[in-house]
Structure 1
Amino acid sequence: MTEGVETGRMGRVAYARIAPNEDLVVGVEKLCLERGFRHAFVRGALGSLVDAVLARADGGHQQIAGPAVEIVSLAGEVRTDATGAIAARLTGVVADPEGRVHGGPFVAGANPVCMTFEVTLEEWLPD
């Protein structure tokens, strides 16, 4: 394993909305592309999902049935690789309609926004 410390500085901040039925992970990637953020951190979020699918440590997925699976917390980053491909890695805690709490990485393409989803992104400018 290679370890290191990346140096850089924080750039612009974007406050944006992801529309209903748009995937959470794909929506964050799209927002970064629209704003020209090559790398970014999620600094805040508020909203709910129709249903949620989280990755498990064993490689499987956990499906959380809605409607209205609430996001309790969301953290993550967006990175652009050498080919220009952008990928968001988002991890969070959600509460199902019965109030049970679940956590883990969100599976891209499987987490549709319920009504609206507000997110704050901060651009990262590596040296």
Structure 2
Amino acid sequence: MQLSKEKVLEAANKVSKNTLMETLNIEMVDYGDHFLTARMPVNSRVYQPDGILHGGATVALAESVGSFASVIFSDQEKFFVRGIEITANHLKSIKEGFVYAKATFLHKGRTTQLLDIKVTDEADNLIAVCKLTTISLPRTK
């Protein structure tokens, strides 16, 4: 049975309770056949000391949305997903508003997945480009 877009987003946000995603106010906001988008508010909670978005918070957003995408598009009854490598290029700073991270697959293999994650601001300016590699491991009974 295929879940509706709303149910997928609701489930993803529900399991984020009491995690880093909740601490950073990361919310899954859009989902389609081959992508997942999350957003995070930019405020003092995610600043570096000089008052702009911390690169680590950007990477946390990217890894969160990419890992969730790998989970959503896998057989969750048979496999669990772990991130194994992430890279980030920070291109522009931001002081306020929201940043959006859209994860799309470059490779969706049985064992490993490679995701391209573009982080943009509300005006669709590119803030960062990230690549995330995840691995699907078998669940043991």
Shorter-chain TM-score category?
0.3 to 0.5
Report which of the two has the higher share of helix: 2
Q: Which has the higher contact order (CA 8 A, sep 6+)?
A: 1
TM, length-normalised to structure 2: 0.32
TM, length-normalised to structure 1: 0.35
Report which of the two has the higher share of strand: 1
